[in-house]
Structure 1
Amino acid sequence: MKDINNNDVEEKTISYKKDPIRKDVIKIAWPVLIELLLGSLFGMIDMMMLGRIKNQAVAAASVAAVGMTNQPLFIGLSLVQALNVGGTAMIARYYGAKQNERIEIVLKHVMLLSMTMLTIPLSILGLTFTQQIMSLMGAQPDALQVGSNYFKVIMIGFIFQSLNMSVSAALRGIGETKTPMRINLKCNFLNVIGNALLIYGLLGFPELGVTGAGISTALSQVIACILLFRYIVKGKSIIKLNIGNKFKFDKNIMYNLVKIGLPASLEQMVLRTGILLFVRIVAGLGTVIYAAHQIALSILGLSFQPGQAFGIAASSLVGRSLGAKNHEKAEAYAKKTRKIGSLISTFMAIIFFFFGPQLVGLYSTDPLIIDSASGALKIIALVQPFQSSQFILAGALRGAGDTFWPLVATSVGVLLIRVALAYIFVINMGFGLMGAWMAVFIDQLVRWVFVYIRFRTGKWKHVKIR
């Protein structure tokens, strides 16, 4: 009997190792997951460095300035990323269909459209109306004073960051995720070193405070841009960029980019608007409760990463399979990415549920903050399976070029459900922070239902691109 059981276990182990679908998913997803997790960690280190500036008033104003300038920057980056969704989907399709000659044309169109329609106009706006934008975000005079130059430098770096995102999205479209990971991690590490030198004035460098952090961040984006472009110009990848080839406008590629990218851009705008309204409702609960909410959001941000990583893997693998006209394989990839991502999210949910107070204690020693935020983490734990599944299946739909239904899901879930229920639970029924997070849970559940039903119809397999 023992021999039979041992044979069963051995056969299952061999089957697990030989599963080509699982192997492809892990191969693409793990570098993205590492990149996203460590990127978040480096971002946290940046904030910690600013918080340790000797003058406490300057330190507080610097942290506030970075938080406020990040909001308009994130809006710009989310719009650029939405356009890149179209590029990733098309490149994955052409790669799967073995039409590699069209890949370079797509990349050039994405970069040109991104630069002319979004990046350069937004950078000019940021540089011209720095004070007004920061004031709109709620910056007080002290944050305005220390943060204005930081914002201007960051908006220059935004140009290079946008180019990096376009090239990385193209590489991910063919499943090449290790190169963007290596380059971005190197540059993030250099950014941390640059922060230490320029914030504090170490080793003879000028002590520039938060402006130094901006310069270091922008320089790291420039270096990443140089490394990524050198990689594709030298022809080390299927993604090639031949500077000598004359650019030829292709109306079919533009049509595809608008068809896929426009709903994705609208989705990001809806999401950002909904989050802004939601934050205003929570802010009315007072400073301490709002601090607890921000801590819960910070921890929730880390939990996004597995869903995003496996969503990117799903986009690439589904797009490639549909390009090769293998619909069954496309569905198998989507289901496998969802399964693996959900397992990771369930593990994180258990940690959030049982170790919430300990996690929040890393951020604050205030008993009210710990109690409020750890209560929110229990709801976040319940959100995890739906959030991860929704992220990954939406990634699969985007890889197929089906971006309309993720837009519908986000519009209904965030604007109609999250904001409306948060107002009812927090303002009308007096449930406080727990009420706000109950609204988040229902929002994620509704979005999951929309995306899951759309995925189950199978209509995404037949989305045509020119």
Structure 2
Amino acid sequence: MFASKESGDGKKTRIFMWSKNSTRNDVINIAWPVLLELLMGSLFGMVDMMMLGRMGDNSLAAASVSAVGMTNQPLFIGLSLVQALNVGGTAMIARYLGSKRTDKIETTLKHVILLSLIMLAIPISVLGIIFTGPIMKFMGAANDTLQVGGSYFKIIMVGFIFQSFNMSISAALRGIGETKTPMKINLRANFFNVIGNAVLIYGLFGLPKLGVTGAGISTAISNVIASVFLFRYIIKGKSIIKLDIKKSFKIDKNIIYNLVKIGVPASLEQLVLRAGVLMFVRIVAGLGTVVYASHQISLNILSLSFQPGQAFGIAASSLVGRSIGAKELSKAESYAKETRKIGSLISTFMAIIFFFFGPQIVGLYSKDPRIIQNASIALKIIALVQPFQSSQLILAGALRGAGDTFWPLVATFVGVLLIRVVLAHLLVNIFGYGLAGAWMAVFMDQFVRWFFVYMRFRTGKWKYIKIR
């Protein structure tokens, strides 16, 4: 009896000590809004895919799901380049906040917004709209996919301009640890997107039934709505991140230097990643529309599993950047290790769900037994990927927060181009393992990337990266 009471008191003490850890609290306070935002964004995306996958005509549904997958890949290249520039903005703003050089924050934000719009978002959008057909053909789209996906791609590329603007502001807010505001705004926009999708895909309330085109219109409008809310927030000046549109803008050579130093390797990393994923997608697309639809559903579910790693990676970037700015190097390392620990626990839980409940999850997307069988096999492999994927994403986030973007580039080059693409070609085209072979290549890619990033983190050299 006495021993039982003592054991209970010991558990309470451990729980109390766990909850009172200041490093852990800092990590959770920044990470949970990002995690909720990303998870809900992925869930909303999954609902969109389910709506398309469960349209009455199975062949039209498969073509629509494939169209979204194929048009999303070139879109993700553009988003990744914008995000790479934002990595520099997040790291710099976190550093300036830690070193109390807050006068540099607004001008950094202006540089990031203008560069992302003028150099990336607008040119990519225009090229995407002009070359829709050739881009989709290059992606390996079959005739049925081309027929339903062309209008969707053009509309999505218009929304891309506003999405890029949103990403730049959100990245700046996260750099100072302000993650609740972008969460609230993006959740509202995503909620509108889901409602709009239901109305426009199925033609509710007397509106025309637009299918995948309706999904594109709803997504673009939701991006515009998020832009309006985020812009209003930063011009009100209630945050450290503020934008005075009346103040004249001057090019700052030091900020450009820092953005180039941090952003170029991050941009190259994203180009390598997306080029590798494009080649990987073309390999899988050769297996046919139904198998590709299975693959796209698997990717959609995989995107959900990215979220803990991405959320805690963002927390690591902010906290590591601020700590290094304040010259608290041991604290920076503690933050990185704590984010990795918590993110890995969440990813392990998700892995268990994917492994044991794969058919039930895939069944939410499609009633086609072939798609359910193919995607369920992929989900078992996705479950095994989780520990390496989460650790790699979080530690890479810590390195980027320190301004060390070269080694994540090396990890991605080796993992994606030399491992994923080559291995997928061998397993799918040479040895005939089909979709399972493609996902085995994904597993090996994530393992190799984790190894490179982990070894770099262990050296501790990332703590001494300088910015101006």
TM-score range, shorter chain: over 0.9
1:124 to 120, 126, 147: 126
The residue type paired with residue 284 of structure 2 is V
The residue type paired with residue 356 of structure 2 is F
Structure 1 partner of 2:249 = 247
Q: Percent identity?
A: 74
Distance 1:323 1:335 in 2: 18
Alignment deviations for residues 274-307 of structure 1 (CA, whole Å, 9 cap, x no partner): 1222233334445554444333333222111111
The 3-state SS of whatever aligns with 2:250 is coil
How far residue 334 of structure 1 moved from its aligned partner, in angstroms, is: 0.3
The residue type paired with residue 191 of structure 2 is F
Alignment deviations for residues 52-100 of structure 1 (CA, whole Å, 9 cap, x no partner): 5567766555444333322221111111111100000001111111111
Alignment deviations for residues 324-373 of structure 1 (CA, whole Å, 9 cap, x no partner): 11011110000000000111111122222333343334445555554444
Structure 1 partner of 2:309 = 307
Distance 2:54 2:349 in 1: 33
Count how many residue pairs are aligned between Structure 1 and Structure 2. 466
Q: Which runs of 5+ in 2 are unaligned?
A: none
How far residue 236 of structure 1 moved from its aligned partner, in angstroms, is: 1.5
Structure 2 partner of 1:334 = 336
1:319 to 318, 321, 341: 321
Distance 2:114 2:383 in 1: 42
The 3-state SS of whatever aligns with 1:246 is coil
The residue type paired with residue 349 of structure 1 is A
Deviates more, 1:334-343 or 1:377-386: 377-386
Alignment deviations for residues 5-59 of structure 1 (CA, whole Å, 9 cap, x no partner): 3342232122111111111111111111111111112122223334555677665
Distance 1:461 1:300 in 2: 31
Task: Quickly say closer, same or farther: Cα 1:451–1:52, change in 2 above 3 A.
Answer: closer
Structure 1 partner of 2:24 = 22
| Alignment map for 1:116-265 (pairs within 5 Å) | 116-141=118-143, 143-205=145-207, 207-265=209-267
The residue type paired with residue 326 of structure 1 is E
Distance 2:214 2:368 in 1: 31
Alignment deviations for residues 102-134 of structure 1 (CA, whole Å, 9 cap, x no partner): 110100000111111101111221232233333
How far residue 205 of structure 1 moved from its aligned partner, in angstroms, is: 4.4
Q: Which runs of 5+ in 1 are unaligned?
A: none
Deviates more, 1:151-160 or 1:4-13: 4-13
What is the TM-score of this pair, normalised by structure 2? 0.92
| Alignment map for 1:47-446 (pairs within 5 Å) | 47-51=49-53, 61-141=63-143, 143-205=145-207, 207-286=209-288, 288-364=290-366, 369-446=371-448
Task: Quickly say closer, same or farther: Cα 1:66–1:444, change in 2 above 3 A.
Answer: closer
Task: Quickly say closer, same or farther: Cα 1:209–1:80, change in 2 above 3 A.
Answer: same
Distance 2:372 2:190 in 1: 31
The 3-state SS of whatever aligns with 2:237 is coil
Distance 1:305 1:67 in 2: 19
Distance 2:72 2:258 in 1: 30
The residue type paired with residue 266 of structure 1 is L
Deviates more, 1:137-146 or 1:65-74: 137-146
Task: Quickly say closer, same or farther: Cα 1:363–1:126, change in 2 above 3 A.
Answer: closer
Distance 1:346 1:376 in 2: 17
Distance 1:358 1:191 in 2: 25
What is the TM-score of this pair, normalised by structure 1? 0.93
Task: Quickly say closer, same or farther: Cα 1:298–1:64, change in 2 above 3 A.
Answer: closer
Task: Quickly say closer, same or farther: Cα 1:214–1:307, change in 2 above 3 A.
Answer: same
Distance 1:363 1:221 in 2: 24
Deviates more, 1:410-419 or 1:186-195: 186-195
